[in-house]
Every structure is written in C-alpha cells, then in structure tokens.
Amino acid sequence: MSQNWSSKETKSQNQPVAAGQKRTRNDEGNKVTVVLGAQWGDEGKGKVVDLLATEADIICRCQGGNNAGHTVVVDGKEYDFHLLPSGIINTKGISLIGNGVVIHLPGLFEEGDKNEKKGLKGWEKRLIVSDRAHLVFDFHQVVDGLQETERQAQEGKNIGTTKKGIGPAYSSKASRIGLRVCDLLGDFNDFSTRFKNLIHHYQSMYPSLKVDVDDQLKKLKDFAERLRPMVRDGVYYMYEALHGPPKKILVEGANAALLDIDFGTYPFVTSSNCTVGGVCTGLGIPPVNIGDVFGVSKAYTTRVGIGAFPTEQLNAVGELLQTRGHEVGVTTGRKRRCGWLDLVILKYAHMINGFTAVALTKLDILDVLDEIKVGVAYKLNGKRIPHFPANMDILHKVEVEYETFPGWKTDTSAARKWNDLPAKAQNYIRFIENHIGVPIKWVGVGKSRECMIQMF
C-alpha cells in the first residue's frame, strides 16, 4: 500500500543547509499526507485515516475539537473518536494533537478511557499534545448553548452546533483572552487569575452563567498532571519529524470544507479552517511539506444542523438514504439530513484544497435505488450561475440541475475490486471523477477496513 504515501525520500533531505546556501526543492523534507472532508462532514474520514494509519509513523489532528466524530470499525468492533486522532488505533504510530485544535480535557480523557475499555491499549503513551493548543472549558460549552438559545430568540433559528464549546473557545483565542496548554502547565496562580478573568468576561455577557470556580480549578490542576507527560512543543516536534529520517505522516482533517469558517456556508459553519490551509496553521508546517491531499466524499450528501443544502431530498429518497445509511450524528445523535451528491460543492472543495485524489464512500447505500441523481450545476432565475455562491440567500434560492443515472440494483457490499462492481456503478463513479477532474482512489462499500476498493 506504499503507493498511498507521498513522503518524499530524496537523498539530500536530511542534510542541513549551509549558511548562505539556498534550500532547494530537494531538501524540503518529508511530506505529510492529508485527509479532508469535502462536503458537510461525516464523509467517512475516520475510515480513510484508519486505512492509511496502519502504515503511518505519526497521525495528527490540526483543527477542530470534539465536535468531530470519526468512526473506525476494526475486527467488527466500532470505535468513535472525537479529539483523539483515529489513527491512535495503530499501536506502532504516534498521535499528535496540534496547536490548531481546541481541547476539552475532560472530553479527551473520557474518550481515551472509554476506548481503552474497548481494547485500545496504551494510548496515553502514544499521544503528543501541542503546548500551543487552546483549551475548551466546561463554561465554553455552557456558553455555546446560551448562544444557540440567543440566536433562536433573536433570529428564529440557531446554527445547530454540537454544543461542545468550539465557537466560544475559538472566540476566546481570537480575542486574545484564551488559555493554552502551556498556560495550564506553567504558573498555576497565574493560570487561575486568567481563568477567573475569562469567566468574568463571559459572565458580563451572560449574567446567568454560573461557574464553580474552585471546583473547576481543582479539576484542571489534576488534568494538568495527567497531561504533562504528553505535552511537547509541536512546532519543533513536527520540524524534526519532517527533516529527520523518512517518515509517513498523516493529517486527519476534522469537520469539512463546507463547514470551514472562511469557505463554508457561513454563518452555518464551525469556527476553524477545515480546508488545507488549516493543516499549515494548525501544525506549524510550511505548505511545501504538504504532499497528497485526499478528499473524502460520500456517494450522496448529508448535513447535520441548520443551513442551506441545495440537493437535500425531503422525500422518500432522503428517508431511504437516512435509514439505509444509518445517518445519525456520532457526536450528537441527531438525524443527518440527506440528499443527492452535489458536484458543485465537490468542485468548489477541490478548488480550495487541491485534492490529489478522492475517496468516495458509502456507494453501497445507493444499491437499492431505481435511479440516482447527481447535482451538476446551480441555476438562479432559470440561468446557470458560474460560482458556488457566498451569499446564503442565493444558495437557498438556487435550483439544481441534475444528471440522472439508472440504479444498478445489485448488492455491492462484497465487491473488493473495480471489476466486482456492476457496470452501472462504474459508470456513476467515472462520471463523478470526470466531472470534478480528480481521480477516485478508493470506493467504499461497507463500514469495515476491507470494504474499500482501491483503484490505483
């Protein structure tokens, strides 16, 4: 499976560059392989990461927090990961939570302990946490809920966040009042003062916010000691990994392109960059070290939470996709909204991320349909529009132009290679590939590791 990796093994990569000498393209170091969501999340990133992580030396998260919910099925056992990289299952690899991630410490330890009970051994020894990562506190999660209530009251609709405190924690970070892992592990008196100031800041906005400060500080002090052995300077760690001996380094994107704070369906988005730029800022690595970028897309589309969804099917097709696809959120247990595949959004996600290949998951869910539609363009007032619109009023109004394919009406779940797939399914896949202009490298036909057809 080594053709999956983009680590660059050039002879000069480990040589230091002499003073005054210019670095050349040959001494850039190892490349990281990136897995990113290409739709509105839950595309099956965890499964793709798991597939690659069996060979990885380092598996990194670079953004988001425990709003993510990534499922991995190994030997019939299902694991869900929220803050821990899904690759932590690989006992030979090191997992890293980068500076761009926002960490809720109770959530992190609860997740690790829960998975340990399922058989995940020694995860704490294999986890590195960046000292620059920001912390999500319990009150950030309460504020997340209060903000949702406020949105509902003021605008008649909320975002439908996961209530994991992601927005408030990234706001604290951007307001320069947030607290980082290095602050927690430094002078605790200083940390306590800043923690109280932060609470005060939120209480001035939300007078109903109650926090038991002493209890919180006591818990945080205990967490700090459990966390301390895992904490490193992430920038230096990554630099050494990139410029040391050849290594296979994997980055697991959380959330997805259409939920990106800059490029997603704002304001119905999350609060981080879930596109490729977030890999550089969330790990402290240069763009030149980005190798393959694998986009993950379902063979149809889903969305959790509120916001425009042009190909949504509020009918029997949507219901079938929801029930057959078990489309229920891993983090919140909410039903996912379902619709046809939308190639306008996939092309847009590709423009931003520069996918080198795509993993198309859940093809098997379409097995029973008589016909299958794919959105190929948007029209406004009867005329095709050339862009994916930034304005949500426009996105709500677009009409979708569809291409219709006959269903293959055959069980694909046992297919293990391209030739095992019915011709009509092959036709569907080739159409998607040609339309977005990116090769499809994997096709998913079931939950487990083996149910991934590798095309090249």
Question: Per the annotation, where are the binding residues for GTP?
Answer: 41-47, 69-71, 336, 362-364, 444-447
**Sign of dihedral through CA atoms 344, 346, 347, 352?**
positive
Instruction: Determine the residue type at 178.
Output: G
353 vs 412, which CB is nearer to ligand IMO? Answer: 353
Of 68-107, binders to Mg ion (CB under 5 A) are: 69
Contact indicator for 158, 152 with CB cutoff of 8 Å = yes
What is the C-alpha to C-alpha distance for residues 49 and 59, in angstroms, rounded to an integer?
Answer: 9
Contact indicator for 326, 395 with CB cutoff of 8 Å = no
* Binding status of residue 447 toward ligand GDP by CB under 6 A: yes
* Main-chain phi, psi angles of 27, to 5 degrees: -120, 30
340 vs 378, which CB is nearer to ligand GDP? Answer: 340
Catalytic residue check, 367: no
166 vs 179, which CB is nearer to ligand IMO? Answer: 166
Of 347-376, binders to ligand GDP (CB under 6 A) are: 361-362, 364-365
Comparing CA positions, the residue from 118, 84, 127 lying closest to residue 254 is 84
* Main-chain phi, psi angles of 201, to 5 degrees: -55, -45
* Binding status of residue 278 toward ligand IMO by CB under 6 A: no
Q: How far is the CB of 264 from ligand IMO (least distance, A)?
A: 8
* Binding status of residue 68 toward ligand IMO by CB under 6 A: yes
What is the C-alpha to C-alpha distance for residues 405 and 208, in angstroms, rounded to an integer?
Answer: 55
* Binding status of residue 42 toward ligand IMO by CB under 6 A: yes
Catalytic residue check, 70: yes
- 439 upstream amide cis, omega within 30 of 0: no
Q: Which of 37, 44, 234, 444 binds ligand IMO (CB under 6 A)?
A: 37
Catalytic residue of the set 173, 247, 248, 441: 173
Residues that constitute the known binding site:
41-47, 67-71, 162, 176, 255, 270, 330-336, 362-364, 444-447
DSSP letter at 335? B
29 vs 69, which CB is nearer to Mg ion? Answer: 69
What is the C-alpha to C-alpha distance for residues 60 and 101, in angstroms, rounded to an integer?
Answer: 10
Q: How far is the CB of 383 from ligand GDP (least distance, A)?
A: 35
Catalytic residue of the set 42, 131, 144, 183: 42
DSSP letter at 451? S
Q: Which of 8, 31, 45, 248 binds ligand GDP (CB under 6 A)?
A: 45
Q: Which of 85, 93, 107, 167 binds ligand IMO (CB under 6 A)?
A: 167
Catalytic residue check, 42: yes
Residue 160 binds which entry of ligand GDP, ligand IMO, Mg ion, none, CB below 5-8 Å type-dependent: ligand IMO
Q: Which of 27, 33, 38, 41 binds ligand IMO (CB under 6 A)?
A: 41
* Binding status of residue 145 toward ligand IMO by CB under 6 A: no
Binding mask 69-88 toward ligand IMO (x if CB under 6 A, else -) reads xx------------------
27 vs 260, which CB is nearer to ligand GDP? Answer: 260
Catalytic residue of the set 70, 82, 134, 248: 70
Q: Which residues contact 205 (CB under 8 A, 6 or more apart)?
A: none
* Binding status of residue 30 toward ligand IMO by CB under 6 A: no
Comparing CA positions, the residue from 441, 443, 402 lying closest to residue 425 is 443
Sheet holding 249-252, edge to edge: 231-232, 127-130, 94-97, 58-61, 249-252, 32-37, 290-298, 357-361, 440-444, 452-454
Contact indicator for 339, 301 with CB cutoff of 8 Å = yes
What is the C-alpha to C-alpha distance for residues 123 and 291, in angstroms, rounded to an integer?
Answer: 27
Angle at 30 between CA 25 and CA 31, to 5 degrees: 90
The two structure tokens encoding residue 346: 């996939």
Contact indicator for 68, 82 with CB cutoff of 8 Å = yes
Residue 447 binds which entry of ligand GDP, Mg ion, ligand IMO, none, CB below 5-8 Å type-dependent: ligand GDP
259 φ/ψ sector (left φ>0, alpha ψ -120 to 50, else beta)? alpha
Q: Which of 39, 71, 270, 311 binds ligand GDP (CB under 6 A)?
A: 71
Strand-pair category, 452-454 with 440-444: antiparallel
Active site residues: 42, 70, 173
Q: Which residues bind ligand GDP (CB under 6 A)?
A: 37, 41-47, 69-71, 73, 330, 361-362, 364-365, 444-447, 451
Q: Which residues bind ligand IMO (CB under 6 A)?
A: 37, 41-42, 67-70, 159-162, 164, 166-167, 254-256, 259, 268, 270-271, 304-305
